[in-house]
């Protein structure tokens, strides 16, 4: 009988700088942080001391591609921006000051444009959070922090100027339990039409939601800062793995067909993705509709898809047009079992109900991701010889058990032990099993034998 994969992961040191978690112990959190976390993640999800639950992943959409995330208790930010730049809750029901008060351990930067990284430097300098991104992102965060630049700590994903397709296999910023990797991909861009008649939102968008307009009149325009070049600093896609659960987040979806062949190969080669949080708005919409975001969807094949960036420019409800367009484009590519959990602004800002994922759920178990293992046994001279065979390269440690009693252990291949008669006599159980600790964060698995032979 296969046991549920354990959530704990031993995270190895990775490419680039590493840093210990910056968040203060829960008992040390100020009242402002407790209140901010209760507002952003929901009162029911935050303990009285401000800690977030273990065994779950919670995502709270702040705006555009910025999410506050609780990853098995670790509070982080994915991007660092609050749309409309207002100093009080309004259309966006939070502020940069409240996001800062969350005291995240890290701020993961997808790319450096203002609508993604505007507050990253300030948050890092004032809270001690680690900025995770390219060296160019780090330089931008330090510039944004101004006089406090020397207080901005960084963990580099790839070297400065690294080519598209460069990868960071391990980024050690959250300690044991959360495995983080990254891939340099492509920012959105308008390539020449490819002639395939892709689905588009141009000319099909709904009118702005009148009640939202009346309740929250438009503030300063973001259009003067809309620039596809400049301070991008490279565009990164992040993958988080906790036990059997995997989350992929990216804040832009670029023209992979023209500029990212290596990225497509890397995405398809990734282990199965459970939840993908991906950008659906981009410059490619102007010429090839929603082709590019759907190319990411097809390559990753997630169980659940969550959109982002569709409230930027297309706001006040006009971003609703992306949902039918993306679904129709995906349908053209063939059968898909992906579940969509669409978000609409401003209704779904700071709502975690549909973006809460139980790490213990059997839904995240994937047979194709599990190594094939077999436990063999035979008697020899009154002793029991046991051996674990199959994909043993995926195995870190094996404990051989009779019932609840451990009778042997092996920490290196070949995983083979001889159990003497005295050890056998101490257990009347005939249930012989190998409890296997898998490498690369794949948790623990139990491999049974048919039965214990009589030796």
| DSSP labels, 290-356 | THHHHHHHHHH--SEEEEESTTSSS-TTGGGGHHHHHHHHHHHT----PEE----TTTTTT--GGGE
Range(s) within the chain of domains with CATH label 2.60.40.10 = 370-448
The structure's pTM equals 0.76
What are the residues whose beta carbons fall under 8 Å from the beta carbon of 186, sequence distance 6 or more? 164, 235, 252, 254, 255, 256, 259, 260, 263
Q: CA-to-CA distance for 418 and 175, rounded, in angstroms?
A: 37
Q: CA-to-CA distance for 25 and 2, rounded, in angstroms?
A: 36
Strands (E), 35-185: 56-63, 66-71, 74-78, 106-108, 130-133, 153-156, 167-168, 179-185
Token pair for 249:
């987040």
Residue of 372, 392, 373, 384 whose CA lies nearest to 451: 384
What are the residues whose beta carbons fall under 8 Å from the beta carbon of 30, sequence distance 6 or more? none
Range(s) within the chain of domains with CATH label 3.60.15.10 = 26-364
Q: CA-to-CA distance for 113 and 256, rounded, in angstroms?
A: 20
Q: CA-to-CA distance for 84 and 13, rounded, in angstroms?
A: 38
Q: Topology of 370-448 in CATH? A: Immunoglobulin-like (2.60.40)
Q: CA-to-CA distance for 102 and 34, rounded, in angstroms?
A: 8
Cα distances (angstroms) measured from residue 311 to each of 8, 186, 229, 314:
36, 21, 20, 5
Q: What letter would DSSP give residue 26?
A: G
What are the residues whose beta carbons fall under 8 Å from the beta carbon of 98, sequence distance 6 or more? 36, 39, 40, 89
Residue of 341, 323, 347, 314 whose CA lies nearest to 91: 347
**3.40.50.720, 3.30.70.1520, 3.40.30.10, 3.60.15.10: which CATH number matches 26-364?**
3.60.15.10
Q: Are 131 and 123 contacting, i.e. CB atoms less than 8 angstroms apart?
A: no
Q: pLDDT tens digits, the chain, 455 residues: what are they? A: 233 333 332 222 233 333 433 344 555 899 999 999 999 999 999 999 999 999 999 999 999 999 999 999 999 999 999 987 777 788 899 999 999 999 999 999 999 999 999 999 999 999 999 999 999 999 999 999 999 999 999 999 999 999 999 999 889 999 868 999 999 999 999 999 999 999 999 877 666 665 665 555 555 444 455 444 448 999 999 999 998 899 999 999 999 999 999 999 999 998 889 999 999 999 999 999 999 999 999 999 999 999 999 998 777 777 889 999 999 999 999 999 999 999 999 999 999 999 999 998 888 876 555 677 888 888 888 888 889 988 888 888 898 888 778 888 999 888 999 988 888 788 777 788 888 888 765 666 777 765 677 77
- Residue 146: Cβ within 10 Å count: 10
Q: Are 371 and 439 contacting, i.e. CB atoms less than 8 angstroms apart?
A: no
């Amino acid at each position: 009988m296969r046991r549920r994969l354990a959530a704990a992961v031993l995270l190895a040191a990775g490419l680039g700088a590493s840093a210990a978690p910056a968040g203060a112990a829960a008992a040390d959190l100020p009242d402002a942080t407790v209140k901010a976390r209760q507002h952003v993640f929901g009162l029911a999800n935050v303990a009285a001391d401000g800690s977030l639950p273990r065994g779950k992943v919670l995502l709270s959409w702040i705006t555009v591609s910025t999410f506050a995330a609780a990853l098995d208790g670790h509070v982080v930010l994915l991007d660092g921006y609050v749309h409309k730049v207002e100093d009080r809750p309004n259309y966006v029901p939070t502020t940069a000051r409240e996001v800062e008060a969350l005291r995240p351990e890290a701020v993961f930067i997808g790319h450096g444009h203002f609508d993604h990284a505007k507050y990253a430097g300030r948050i890092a300098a004032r809270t001690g959070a680690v900025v995770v991104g390219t060296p160019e992102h780090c330089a931008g965060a330090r510039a944004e922090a101004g006089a406090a630049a020397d207080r901005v700590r960084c963990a580099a994903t790839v070297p400065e100027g690294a080519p598209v397709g460069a990868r960071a296999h391990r980024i050690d910023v959250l300690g044991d339990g959360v495995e983080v990797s990254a891939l340099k991909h492509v920012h959105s861009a308008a390539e020449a039409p490819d002639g395939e008649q892709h689905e588009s939102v141009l000319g099909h968008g709904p009118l702005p939601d009148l009640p939202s307009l009346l309740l929250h009149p438009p503030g300063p325009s973001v259009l003067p800062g809309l620039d596809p070049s400049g301070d991008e600093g490279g565009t990164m896609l992040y993958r988080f793995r906790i036990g059997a659960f995997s989350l992929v987040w990216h804040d832009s979806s670029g023209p992979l067909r023209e500029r990212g062949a290596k990225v497509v190969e890397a995405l398809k080669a990734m282990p199965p993705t459970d939840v993908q949080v991906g950008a659906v708005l981009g410059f490619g919409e102007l010429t090839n509709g929603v082709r590019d975001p759907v190319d990411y969807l097809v390559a990753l094949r997630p169980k659940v898809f969550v959109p982002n960036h569709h409230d930027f420019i297309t706001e006040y409800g006009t971003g609703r047009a992306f949902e039918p367009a993306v679904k129709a484009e995906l349908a053209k590519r063939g059968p898909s079992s992906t579940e969509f959990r669409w978000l609409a602004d401003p209704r779904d800002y700071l709502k975690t109900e549909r973006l809460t994922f139980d790490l213990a759920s059997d839904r995240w178990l994937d047979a194709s991701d599990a190594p094939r293992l077999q436990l063999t046994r035979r008697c020899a001279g009154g002793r029991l010889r046991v051996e674990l065979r199959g994909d043993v390269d995926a195995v870190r440690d094996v404990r051989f058990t009779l019932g609840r009693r451990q009778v042997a252990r092996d920490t290196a291949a070949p995983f083979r032990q001889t159990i003497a008669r005295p050890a056998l006599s101490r257990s009347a159980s005939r249930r012989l099993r190998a409890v296997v600790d898998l490498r690369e964060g794949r948790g623990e698995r139990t491999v049974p034998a048919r039965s214990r032979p009589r030796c």
